[in-house]
Structure 1
Protein backbone atom coordinates (compact mmCIF):
# COMPACT_ATOMS: atom_id res chain seq x y z
CA UNK A 1 0.00 0.00 0.00
CA UNK A 2 1.36 3.41 -0.95
CA UNK A 3 1.12 5.97 1.83
CA UNK A 4 -0.14 9.46 1.08
CA UNK A 5 1.41 12.76 2.10
CA UNK A 6 -0.95 15.57 1.03
CA UNK A 7 0.88 18.60 -0.38
CA UNK A 8 -1.31 21.10 1.49
CA UNK A 9 0.04 19.90 4.85
CA UNK A 10 3.25 20.63 6.73
CA UNK A 11 4.98 17.82 8.61
CA UNK A 12 7.27 17.39 11.60
CA UNK A 13 10.10 14.87 11.59
CA UNK A 14 8.25 13.30 14.56
CA UNK A 15 5.36 12.47 12.14
CA UNK A 16 2.72 14.99 13.16
CA UNK A 17 1.11 17.10 10.45
CA UNK A 18 -0.50 20.51 10.49
CA UNK A 19 -3.05 22.03 8.11
CA UNK A 20 -3.36 25.80 8.35
CA UNK A 21 -6.60 27.66 7.72
CA UNK A 22 -5.98 31.28 8.68
CA UNK A 23 -5.22 31.29 12.40
CA UNK A 24 -6.60 27.77 12.93
CA UNK A 25 -4.28 24.76 12.75
CA UNK A 26 -5.58 21.22 12.43
CA UNK A 27 -3.10 18.70 13.84
CA UNK A 28 -2.91 14.95 13.31
CA UNK A 29 -0.42 12.17 12.72
CA UNK A 30 0.79 11.02 9.33
CA UNK A 31 -0.22 7.86 7.53
CA UNK A 32 3.40 6.74 7.87
CA UNK A 33 3.27 7.03 11.67
CA UNK A 34 -0.02 5.15 11.79
CA UNK A 35 1.42 2.44 9.55
CA UNK A 36 4.47 2.10 11.82
CA UNK A 37 2.43 2.03 15.03
CA UNK A 38 0.06 -0.72 13.94
CA UNK A 39 -3.20 -1.13 15.82
CA UNK A 40 -3.91 2.05 17.79
CA UNK A 41 -5.73 1.38 21.05
CA UNK A 42 -5.66 4.69 22.96
CA UNK A 43 -5.20 8.41 22.29
CA UNK A 44 -4.63 11.00 25.01
CA UNK A 45 -5.19 14.65 24.06
CA UNK A 46 -5.36 17.96 25.92
CA UNK A 47 -8.74 19.49 26.77
CA UNK A 48 -10.36 22.39 24.95
CA UNK A 49 -8.95 25.62 26.34
CA UNK A 50 -5.54 24.09 27.08
CA UNK A 51 -2.44 25.68 25.58
CA UNK A 52 0.12 23.74 23.59
CA UNK A 53 3.60 24.91 22.67
CA UNK A 54 5.52 24.18 19.48
CA UNK A 55 8.06 21.41 20.03
CA UNK A 56 6.51 20.31 23.32
CA UNK A 57 4.58 17.10 24.00
CA UNK A 58 0.79 17.55 23.90
CA UNK A 59 -0.46 13.98 24.19
CA UNK A 60 0.19 10.33 23.41
CA UNK A 61 -0.84 7.66 20.96
CA UNK A 62 -0.75 4.09 22.26
CA UNK A 63 -0.64 1.08 19.99
CA UNK A 64 -0.21 -2.60 20.64
CA UNK A 65 3.51 -2.01 19.90
CA UNK A 66 4.39 1.21 21.74
CA UNK A 67 3.34 4.48 23.34
CA UNK A 68 4.45 7.50 21.31
CA UNK A 69 4.45 11.11 22.46
CA UNK A 70 2.81 13.68 20.22
CA UNK A 71 4.82 16.85 19.55
CA UNK A 72 3.07 20.13 18.84
CA UNK A 73 3.90 21.71 15.48
CA UNK A 74 2.44 25.05 16.62
CA UNK A 75 1.81 27.17 19.72
CA UNK A 76 -1.75 28.07 20.59
CA UNK A 77 -4.99 27.25 22.39
CA UNK A 78 -6.92 24.04 21.80
CA UNK A 79 -10.35 24.99 20.45
CA UNK A 80 -11.52 21.49 19.57
CA UNK A 81 -10.36 17.92 19.97
CA UNK A 82 -11.57 14.98 17.95
CA UNK A 83 -13.72 13.10 20.43
CA UNK A 84 -14.39 10.46 17.77
CA UNK A 85 -10.67 9.68 17.58
CA UNK A 86 -10.49 9.43 21.37
CA UNK A 87 -13.47 7.09 21.65
CA UNK A 88 -12.54 4.99 18.59
CA UNK A 89 -8.77 5.48 18.03
CA UNK A 90 -8.62 2.70 15.48
CA UNK A 91 -10.67 4.92 13.14
CA UNK A 92 -7.82 7.38 12.50
CA UNK A 93 -6.19 4.66 10.38
CA UNK A 94 -8.94 4.95 7.77
CA UNK A 95 -8.62 8.70 7.10
CA UNK A 96 -5.66 10.24 8.99
CA UNK A 97 -5.80 13.51 7.01
CA UNK A 98 -9.58 13.94 7.09
CA UNK A 99 -11.76 12.47 9.82
CA UNK A 100 -8.67 11.24 11.69
CA UNK A 101 -7.44 14.68 12.79
CA UNK A 102 -6.63 15.07 16.50
CA UNK A 103 -6.74 18.76 17.49
CA UNK A 104 -7.78 22.16 16.21
CA UNK A 105 -5.68 24.97 17.66
CA UNK A 106 -6.04 28.75 17.46
CA UNK A 107 -2.51 29.97 16.77
CA UNK A 108 -0.87 32.46 19.13
CA UNK A 109 1.28 33.78 16.30
CA UNK A 110 0.25 32.52 12.85
CA UNK A 111 3.32 34.03 11.17
CA UNK A 112 6.18 32.57 13.20
CA UNK A 113 5.21 29.08 14.28
CA UNK A 114 6.05 26.98 11.29
CA UNK A 115 9.82 27.24 11.22
CA UNK A 116 10.84 23.61 11.67
CA UNK A 117 8.25 21.97 9.44
CA UNK A 118 8.78 19.92 6.31
CA UNK A 119 6.95 20.06 3.00
CA UNK A 120 5.22 16.91 1.76
CA UNK A 121 8.18 16.17 -0.53
CA UNK A 122 10.73 16.68 2.26
CA UNK A 123 8.72 14.48 4.60
CA UNK A 124 8.29 11.78 1.94
CA UNK A 125 12.07 11.76 1.38
CA UNK A 126 12.66 11.50 5.14
CA UNK A 127 10.34 8.54 5.74
CA UNK A 128 11.09 6.72 2.52
CA UNK A 129 14.83 7.15 3.01
CA UNK A 130 15.44 8.89 -0.30
Structure 2
Protein backbone atom coordinates (compact mmCIF):
# COMPACT_ATOMS: atom_id res chain seq x y z
CA UNK A 1 0.00 0.00 0.00
CA UNK A 2 1.30 3.44 -0.95
CA UNK A 3 0.31 6.83 0.48
CA UNK A 4 1.45 10.45 0.15
CA UNK A 5 2.29 13.07 2.77
CA UNK A 6 4.61 16.11 2.97
CA UNK A 7 5.46 15.59 -0.74
CA UNK A 8 6.77 12.11 0.05
CA UNK A 9 5.63 8.65 -0.93
CA UNK A 10 5.17 6.29 2.02
CA UNK A 11 5.08 2.64 1.03
CA UNK A 12 4.08 0.02 3.58
CA UNK A 13 5.45 -3.51 3.25
CA UNK A 14 4.89 -5.76 6.25
CA UNK A 15 5.72 -3.46 9.21
CA UNK A 16 8.26 -1.32 7.33
CA UNK A 17 7.28 2.11 6.00
CA UNK A 18 9.64 3.39 3.30
CA UNK A 19 9.68 7.14 2.63
CA UNK A 20 10.83 8.52 -0.72
CA UNK A 21 10.56 11.73 -2.73
CA UNK A 22 7.59 12.15 -5.08
CA UNK A 23 8.36 12.99 -8.73
CA UNK A 24 6.78 16.43 -8.14
CA UNK A 25 9.19 17.18 -5.30
CA UNK A 26 12.11 15.86 -7.36
CA UNK A 27 11.15 18.30 -10.15
CA UNK A 28 10.64 21.22 -7.76
CA UNK A 29 14.02 20.91 -6.02
CA UNK A 30 16.19 19.94 -9.00
CA UNK A 31 19.36 17.87 -8.83
CA UNK A 32 20.32 16.97 -5.27
CA UNK A 33 23.94 17.78 -4.49
CA UNK A 34 24.17 17.30 -0.72
CA UNK A 35 22.13 15.70 2.07
CA UNK A 36 22.52 15.59 5.82
CA UNK A 37 20.35 13.34 7.99
CA UNK A 38 19.07 14.46 11.38
CA UNK A 39 20.58 12.56 14.31
CA UNK A 40 17.19 11.55 15.68
CA UNK A 41 16.19 7.89 15.50
CA UNK A 42 12.62 8.49 16.67
CA UNK A 43 10.43 10.89 14.70
CA UNK A 44 7.25 12.74 15.51
CA UNK A 45 4.99 14.12 12.77
CA UNK A 46 6.73 17.02 11.01
CA UNK A 47 10.12 16.33 12.62
CA UNK A 48 13.01 16.91 10.19
CA UNK A 49 14.40 13.76 8.54
CA UNK A 50 17.11 15.42 6.49
CA UNK A 51 18.31 18.67 4.99
CA UNK A 52 19.25 18.76 1.35
CA UNK A 53 20.86 21.16 -1.04
CA UNK A 54 19.73 20.91 -4.63
CA UNK A 55 20.15 22.95 -7.81
CA UNK A 56 16.94 24.92 -7.20
CA UNK A 57 16.69 25.12 -3.41
CA UNK A 58 17.86 24.25 0.08
CA UNK A 59 15.09 22.20 1.68
CA UNK A 60 14.25 20.39 4.91
CA UNK A 61 12.37 17.11 4.48
CA UNK A 62 9.90 16.57 7.33
CA UNK A 63 8.28 13.31 8.34
CA UNK A 64 4.57 12.85 7.60
CA UNK A 65 4.43 10.09 10.25
CA UNK A 66 5.74 9.36 13.72
CA UNK A 67 7.92 6.29 13.99
CA UNK A 68 11.34 4.79 14.62
CA UNK A 69 14.02 5.01 11.92
CA UNK A 70 15.39 1.53 11.30
CA UNK A 71 17.40 2.34 8.18
CA UNK A 72 18.69 5.41 6.34
CA UNK A 73 19.71 5.46 2.68
CA UNK A 74 23.41 5.79 3.52
CA UNK A 75 24.38 5.48 -0.17
CA UNK A 76 22.64 8.83 -0.79
CA UNK A 77 25.10 10.59 1.55
CA UNK A 78 28.02 9.93 -0.79
CA UNK A 79 25.84 9.93 -3.94
CA UNK A 80 22.99 12.41 -3.29
CA UNK A 81 21.73 12.26 -6.89
CA UNK A 82 20.24 8.84 -6.00
CA UNK A 83 17.34 10.84 -4.54
CA UNK A 84 16.62 12.09 -8.08
CA UNK A 85 16.34 8.54 -9.41
CA UNK A 86 13.02 7.23 -10.74
CA UNK A 87 13.89 3.84 -9.20
CA UNK A 88 12.28 3.31 -5.80
CA UNK A 89 15.12 1.03 -4.68
CA UNK A 90 17.49 4.02 -5.08
CA UNK A 91 15.48 7.15 -4.19
CA UNK A 92 14.22 6.20 -0.71
CA UNK A 93 15.18 8.30 2.30
CA UNK A 94 14.41 6.31 5.45
CA UNK A 95 12.57 3.21 6.60
CA UNK A 96 10.35 3.43 9.67
CA UNK A 97 8.74 1.00 12.11
CA UNK A 98 6.44 1.58 15.10
CA UNK A 99 4.12 3.70 12.93
CA UNK A 100 0.51 4.29 13.95
CA UNK A 101 -1.50 2.33 11.38
CA UNK A 102 -4.45 4.72 11.69
CA UNK A 103 -2.24 7.76 11.00
CA UNK A 104 -0.84 5.99 7.90
CA UNK A 105 -4.37 5.12 6.67
CA UNK A 106 -5.45 8.77 6.98
CA UNK A 107 -2.78 9.93 4.52
CA UNK A 108 -3.71 10.62 0.90
CA UNK A 109 -3.68 7.59 -1.42
CA UNK A 110 -0.79 7.64 -3.89
Among candidates 41, 59, 72, match of residue 68 of structure 1: 59
1:113 corresponds in structure 2 to: 103
1:3 corresponds in structure 2 to: none
Q: After superposition, what is the alpha-carbon deviation per residue over 1:81-109, rounded to whole angstroms, capped at 9, x for unaligned?
A: 01111110112212352311010111243
Moved over 3 A (4+): none
Aligned residues between the structures: 110
| TM-score under structure 2 length normalisation | 0.85
| TM-score under structure 1 length normalisation | 0.73
1:30 corresponds in structure 2 to: 22
Q: Contact 1:54–1:113 at 8 Å: present in 2 too?
A: no
Q: Contact 1:38–1:63 at 8 Å: present in 2 too?
A: yes
Q: Contact 2:28–2:56 at 8 Å: present in 1 too?
A: no
Rounded Cα–Cα distance in structure 2 between residues aligned with 1:80 and 1:93: 19
Rounded Cα–Cα distance in structure 2 between residues aligned with 1:99 and 1:59: 16
Rounded Cα–Cα distance in structure 2 between residues aligned with 1:116 and 1:86: 31
Q: Contact 2:38–2:48 at 8 Å: present in 1 too?
A: no
Could you list the runs of 5+ residues in structure 2 that have no partner in the other structure?
none
The Cα shift of 1:115 comes to 5.4
| Structure holding more strand per residue | 2
Among candidates 4, 14, 17, match of residue 9 of structure 2: 17
Q: Contact 1:43–1:60 at 8 Å: present in 2 too?
A: yes
